[in-house]
A and B are shown apart, each in its own frame.
Chain A
């Protein structure tokens, strides 16, 4: 399995500001994923991040709002830009594990936007 560390674990931000969330993995992985879990809803995939290429965004998510970096095989960041209260969610990163079709998740970042 993979051990994933996310920072920060939670934050309270003002409208119009940006927050960068970090995801560190204890092993080299090809694919990293970013999810959003809005209050009372299921996890929704934001984007897939491969090292050395631009992230691939799902429908409804754009790079200007959620820029992602993937500088190496153990690290990625997700930025939530120009935040509004609707961005209040839990953001989780995950990695594809050595087992087929298995993903391992970080503990998440709980974001509240005032």
Chain B
């Protein structure tokens, strides 16, 4: 079946450090891939997405590339800020009429000043 596996947290970094959060997936066909972010006390927000192989999603300095050969969609940022502290969820949708999302377990990122 379809599934998403992402690295366990928490990830603790100092401000301006480089961030990588690993995400791999299992899916039949050609899923769309997403990163959602959940800031404290808020709902999930779409951070970026990619809909086909080799697509790169980017937003707010974050990037992720859809790698079909390694079934991965790792999230990266060159220089994190304290305001990036949040829980990050990797997800996929296998389309169809209802666009159901399958989520990874989430990774807590804590950025220290």
Could you say which residues of chain A place their CB within 8 Å of the CB of B46?
A: 102-104
Contact count A vs B, C-beta below 8 Å: 54
Q: Please judge, given known A-B contacts A101-B32, A103-B99, whether A43 and B89 are in contact too, CB under 8 Å.
A: yes
Asked if A108 contacts B43 (CB within 8 A), the reply is yes
Interface size class of B (residues with CB under 8 A): 20 to 34
15 sample A-B contacts, Cβ–Cβ < 8 Å, listed by A number: A6-B43, A31-B98, A33-B101, A42-B105, A43-B89, A45-B100, A45-B101, A92-B44, A101-B32, A101-B49, A101-B99, A105-B44, A106-B43, A107-B41, A108-B43
Closest 4 CB pairs of A and B: A105-B43, A105-B44, A107-B43, A42-B103
Label chain A's interface by main secondary structure. Answer: strand
Task: Give the docked Cα–Cα distance between A107 and B49 (Å).
Answer: 21
Interface residues of B (CB under 8 A from A): 4, 32, 34, 36, 41-46, 49, 51, 89, 93, 95, 98-101, 103-106
